[in-house]
Amino acid sequence: MKASNPNPYPCQRLRSLPTSRREMLSRCVGGFGALALAGLRADRAFGGDGASQPASAGHGPHFRPRAKNIIFLYMDGGPSQVDTFDPKPMLDKHNGEDPGRFFKVEATQFNNNGTVLASPWQFRNYGASGIPVSDLFPHVSQCVDELAVVRSMTSGFPEHTFANYYLHTGSALQGRPSMGAWVNYGLGSECRNLPGFVVLNGGLIPPGGLDCFGSGFLPASHQGSVFKPSGTGVANITPTEATPERQRDKLALINQLDDLATAQFGEHDSLESAIKNYELAYAMQMAVPEVMSLTGEPDYLRQAYGMESKYEPTRIYAAQCLIARRMIERGVRFVELTCPKVGGDRWDQHSNLKSGHENNARAVDQPIAALLRDLRQRGLLDETLVVWSGEFGRTPFAQGRNGRDHNQYGFSVWLAGGGVKPGTVYGATDEWGYRAVQDRAEMHDLHATMLHLLGVEHTRSTFRFSGRDMRLTDVHGHVMHDIIG
């Protein structure tokens, strides 16, 4: 460290005459502007080159964004559309009959098809919009006027792993960049001391594994960082060195070694990403314990989220939702929540539909409703896009006696906040809830719409790889303008 200069004004240009505040401001105004501009240009949140930043922007927004952040509520296993947000009276009318008498039954995952199966739950109309929601969601139903329900979503794949890659990356191929990675590549992050893409793992990693959250051919610094919704969130966040000085010395040595490697071998993404990850990890030492600590949240809010619930999966998901809100408050760009374990299967009820769906709904219903209300109360919902989706839906006929098989031909997802038109229903399935027949949407359309709300034109958000300009939506995708407010 350089010794301090005993002369505080080494330029020898100090004016001895007294200066008024008005004179001082008039002389320095240009300097203030230059300082502000330099700060903004260096800040990845404003499209700076971010050479030393953990997640600099690849291109920035193409037009004025409606949303700044995304919270993606991933419903692992495929919730049944005809038991959640898409009521079908025909199932009650023909319950127990052969579905082949009424429509062509496509091959299913297990080809153990039973009879038409009526929903075990009643649907009721809620809110000023009158959107029907099943009794599975007594809490989310009270927020229905915030939702845009898409009843005509489709997937190209009926098997969990391929469908999860398709949902998360826009491709059924393993190793493609996830939507969270694409968002952070395109826009960067407004947070300097937390990852721009965080996965809050409630206990169930999707079929397909961590590749659902990977960066693929994008720089590795854009991949998802997996946090647990308890304790410190991530391992080894507490320094093991005896003093901060010793830790800084260790990091300085690592930087020197990295510089030597760069000088000898040139710049490589793996090395550059490792350097950025070291820098981010250092910053996270203070930020992670603070954002993970829920002790400062008021008791009424903890209760509203379900932190005091007798059902442990509700407590786990409540912590996930509350931490997600705290993360987007601090500028984390994309937060995904996976489902907690409920003692049985995830939303994948090939049998025991009633108990399985009830357990999964009980885990997430209250926390999701509290999250929507909390974001609204804080003025954050208008700039935070919340997306609820599984990888596919389920058949309107039984698998065996009391389950439902996978159905990629038509199912429901919903979006809220972030520029979405509230209290909206988009698209429709046929009278059985089997196939999308009106405003049919694909996963690429969902991704295009999410990017659009973030101010990104999906056809222009590209990355050159293998001689081709790659993008999240590949050569597909249309923005669902009818659900945009």
Residue 50 has a pLDDT of 39
**Dist CA 451 CA 169 (whole Å):** 13
pLDDT tens sequence for the chain (485 residues): 444 444 443 444 334 445 554 554 455 544 544 444 444 444 444 444 433 344 456 889 999 999 999 999 999 999 999 999 999 999 999 999 999 999 999 999 899 999 999 999 999 999 999 999 999 999 999 999 999 999 999 999 999 999 999 999 999 999 999 999 999 999 998 888 999 999 999 999 999 999 999 999 999 989 999 999 998 887 766 767 667 788 778 778 877 887 887 788 777 767 676 667 667 776 778 789 899 999 999 999 999 999 999 999 999 999 999 999 999 999 999 999 999 999 889 999 999 999 999 999 999 999 999 999 999 999 999 999 999 999 999 999 999 999 999 999 999 999 999 999 999 999 999 999 999 999 999 999 999 999 999 999 999 999 999 999 999 999 999 999 999 99
Question: What would you measure as the largest C-alpha separation in the chain, in angstroms?
Answer: 98
Q: Which domains can be identified in the chain, with CATH numbers?
A: 68-237+293-483 (3.40.720.10)
Task: Reduce the DSSP state of residue 289 to 3 states and report it.
Answer: helix
Burial (0-12, 13-18, 19+ Cβ within 10 Å), 289:
middle
C-alpha pair distances (Å), 384 with each of 65, 337, 420, 457, 482: 11, 15, 10, 18, 19
Give the type of residue at 126: Y
Residue 87's beta-bridge partner residues?
Answer: none
Give the type of residue at 453: L
Task: Reduce the DSSP state of residue 196 to 3 states and report it.
Answer: coil
Residue 7 has a pLDDT of 46
* Residue 234 contacts residue 369 (beta carbons within 8 Å): no
Residue 18 has a pLDDT of 52
Residue 372 has a pLDDT of 98
Which residue, 189, 66, 59, 44, is CA-closest to 455? 66
**Dist CA 60 CA 68 (whole Å):** 12
Residue 308 has a pLDDT of 96
Dihedrals phi, psi of 331, to nearest 5 degrees: 100, 5
Residue 72 has a pLDDT of 98
* ∠ CA 61-468-45, rounded to 5°: 20
Give the type of residue at 262: T
